[in-house]
Structure formats: C-alpha cells, structure tokens
C-alpha cells in the first residue's frame, strides 16, 4: 500500500458499550499521526449510502462514557452482495479513504475481509460484541459491561425471589455462546446454568430443578442463555408449568434482553476499547491489513481476520464444574 491517505472508522452489527471509547481512540491516535479520520455512520449501510462525517479530536469529546454508538450501527444485506461492496468501495475512494477500522463482531470482520480482498482497502478490526464469542481475543468490547449489568439484575431478582421462596428462570444474552450466562451464573450465585455449548436434556433439567426446590425451602435462580438448546427460559418454564409435579413451585421468568446492551461502559471496557482503538491505528500505520487486534493473555495481539470468523472460541469448561460445585 502506498501509505494511508485517510482512515474510515465504523461500528457494525450488534452495538456494544465501549464502542464510543474505541472510536474516540481511533480518531485521536490517527490525528496524533497527522492522519485524518472520517466516521462512517450505520456501518456497511452508511458506506453504501455515503453517510460520512468528518471527525476531529474535538468531535469525539465527551463520548467515552456513553453507551451505544455515536456512529450508529446497522446490518446491511446490500453489503453481502459484490455489487453492494463495489458501491461501498467506490464511495470510500471518492472520500480519499484507503484504510478502515472496523468495530464489530465476526460478521463485520467477514465483511471487512471481503472489502480488502475485492478492492484492496486496508482493514484492521476491533472486537466489539457483548457476547465475547470472538476468536482472537480473550475479551471483547462490551462484554464486561453486559456481564455487570446482568449480575446487578440477578442480585435484584435474588432479593425478591428470596422473599417468596420462588424459582426464577433468568434469561441472559448469548445466542451462540454461553460466556455471559456462565460467568453471571457464578458471579450471581445461580443454582443452575444452562448454556448453548452444553447438551441440555429437558428430563435432566427438570430433575435438577425438582431436586433444588424440594430439598430446601428457599429461592433458586437458574440462569439460561438465550441460545440454550431447550429454547430459552420461557420454553423451560412452560414445560415445568405443564407438569403437575411442579405445581408446588412458585415460578417466574425474567428475560433481561436488551438491558444488557445499553448503559455506560465499565472502566474495564473503556480501557480495553481505548487500547484496541490505539492498536488498530498503529497497526494500519505499520502496514498491517486483514487483521483484528485483540487481548490475549493481557497483551494486545493481532490475529488474521479470516481466523476470527472461521474459528470458534471455546468457553472454559472448568467454569461449568465450578457452577456445579458452588450451587
């Protein structure tokens, strides 16, 4: 590449608290190296629609602590087609943008790879998703905040569950991965945790819940990842309600849903996002492309983008044993 002309930065896919801190770091690091930055609103949709905004170190003041993303996020079906990506590339070239920082999940990284392969635009990714299910980083932007939000809510529910000796099935986010559920289960003292990575058998789950509720007259909390193989908290609750053996249980369902996406990022997420933003710009300056920056063993490392979306990150199975031991 003949050097960076201008950097384009965008947030894409599912939003995550801390994305703004990352955008701020990208802009300020680039300007510190005398490189201009253009913000691309609504991810790949905005790239196709030329929804660009000039960014300066001052324009990113006071966004570090804000949840969501000031650049907005979107999913774009048009970008999935070669024609859509050609329009996006043309618009970028017209703006003098020949390098991109993509902040998002594996889908966003996949899109960035294609843009590089088909149109030669340099791309570096920053992992941003509350689910933490990205290969190439121990932690993603937004995960810590989402986990803390979920635990705070589990604590609140525990108070009311305890007052009535109720069973609560609490559903947390995690369509394909149980990182949030597993860690919230441990941090929130759940009696049982159900995650997508584990074979869930309804008969076995019923047996465990029956055992929990009949052996001691107290509240119980079951944390269920939305992608659990039994179909989520409501499905499990319906199965229990339809079985007269469970009539003695005062059962409630609470789906935390999008509360976990919003809110001000935690200190950890702000620092992580800032480190990723700085590292991404420095990587571009050093001539790297088609890589995602990530945190591995406490250090910032680069992983080929292809690996990010073609490999999967495994949960720590030790933690599953921990939930059993501590419940």
* Residue with smaller CB distance to ligand ADP, 26 or 157: 26
Q: Computed from CA positions of residues 232, 238, 244, 249, in that sequence, does the dihedral angle turn out positive or negative?
A: positive
Furthest-apart CA atoms within the chain: distance in Å: 72
CB of 13 to ligand ADP, least distance (A): 2
* Residue with smaller CB distance to ligand ADP, 114 or 202: 114
Interface with ligand ADP, residue 104, by CB under 6 A? yes
Interface with ligand ADP, residue 14, by CB under 6 A? yes
- Exactly one of 69, 116, 129, 266 binds ligand ADP (CB under 6 A); which one? 129
Which of 130, 144, 233, 134 has the alpha carbon at shortest distance from 187? Answer: 144
In the residue annotation, 131 being an active-site residue is answered as yes
173: three-class secondary structure by DSSP: coil
Interface with ligand ADP, residue 260, by CB under 6 A? no
Interface with ligand ADP, residue 114, by CB under 6 A? yes
* Residue with smaller CB distance to ligand ADP, 65 or 117: 117
- Give the helix/strand (H/E) hosting 152: helix 143-164
> CA-CA distance, 86 to 93, in Å (whole number)?
11
CB of 127 to ligand ADP, least distance (A): 10
Interface with ligand ADP, residue 86, by CB under 6 A? no
Interface with ligand ADP, residue 12, by CB under 6 A? yes
Q: Exactly one of 15, 51, 106, 131 is catalytic; which is it?
A: 131
Segment contacting ligand ADP by CB under 6 A, of 51-59, 88-96, 105-113, 278-286: 105-113
> CA-CA distance, 124 to 115, in Å (whole number)?
11
CB of 45 to ligand ADP, least distance (A): 8
Interface with ligand ADP, residue 108, by CB under 6 A? yes
Segment contacting ligand ADP by CB under 6 A, of 50-58, 110-118, 176-184, 293-301: 110-118
Give the number of other Cβ atoms within 10 Å of residue 289's Cβ: 18
CB of 123 to ligand ADP, least distance (A): 12
Check residue 306 and give left, alpha or beta (phi > 0: left; psi -120 to 50: alpha): alpha
How crowded is the C-beta side of 169, counted as CA atoms within 13 Å?
Answer: 26
- Exactly one of 51, 106, 133, 144 binds ligand ADP (CB under 6 A); which one? 106
> CA-CA distance, 40 to 72, in Å (whole number)?
9
Restricting to residues 24-83, name those near ligand ADP by CB under 6 A. Answer: 44, 75-76, 79-80
Tell me the residue ranges of DSSP E strands in the chain.
6-11, 36-40, 52-55, 97-104, 122-127, 167-172, 192-194, 220-225, 251-255, 291-296, 299-304
Which of 238, 235, 236, 228 has the alpha carbon at shortest distance from 172? Answer: 228
Active site residues: 131
Q: Note the residues at the interface with ligand ADP (CB under 6 A).
A: 12-14, 44, 75-76, 79-80, 104-108, 110-111, 114, 129
């Amino acid at each position: 590449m003949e050097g960076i002309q201008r950097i384009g930065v965008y947030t894409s896919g599912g939003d995550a608290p801390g994305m703004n801190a990352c955008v701020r770091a990208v802009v300020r690091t680039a300007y510190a190296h005398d490189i201009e930055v253009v913000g691309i609103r609504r991810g790949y949709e905005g790239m196709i629609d030329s929804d660009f905004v000039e960014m300066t170190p001052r324009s990113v003041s006071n966004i570090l602590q804000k949840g969501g993303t000031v650049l907005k996020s979107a999913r774009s079906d048009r970008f999935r087609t070669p024609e859509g990506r050609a329009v996006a590339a043309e618009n970028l070239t017209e703006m003098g943008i020949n390098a991109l920082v993509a902040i998002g999940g594996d889908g966003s990284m996949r899109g960035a790879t294609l843009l590089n392969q088909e149109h030669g635009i340099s791309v570096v990714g920053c992992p941003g998703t509350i689910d933490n299910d990205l290969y190439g980083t121990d932690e993603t932007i937004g995960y810590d905040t989402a986990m803390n939000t979920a635990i705070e809510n589990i604590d609140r529910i525990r108070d009311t569950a305890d007052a009535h000796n109720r069973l609560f099935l609490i559903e947390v986010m995690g369509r394909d991965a149980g990182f949030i559920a597993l860690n919230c289960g441990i941090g929130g003292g759940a009696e049982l945790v159900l995650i997508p990575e584990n074979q869930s058998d309804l008969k076995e789950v019923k047996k465990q819940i029956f055992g929990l509720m009949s052996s001691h007259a107290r509240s119980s909390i079951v944390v269920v990842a939305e992608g659990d193989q039994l179909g989520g908290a409501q499905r499990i609750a319906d199965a229990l309600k339809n079985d007269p053996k469970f009539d003695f249980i005062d059962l409630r369902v609470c789906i935390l849903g999008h509360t976990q996406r919003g809110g001000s990022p935690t200190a950890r997420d702000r620092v992580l996002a800032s480190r990723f933003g700085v590292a991404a710009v420095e990587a571009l300056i050093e001539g790297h492309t088609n890589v995602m920056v990530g945190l591995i063993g406490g250090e910032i490392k680069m992983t080929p983008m292809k690996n990010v979306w073609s490999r999967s990150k495994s949960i720590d199975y030790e933690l599953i044993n921990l939930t059993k031991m501590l419940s």
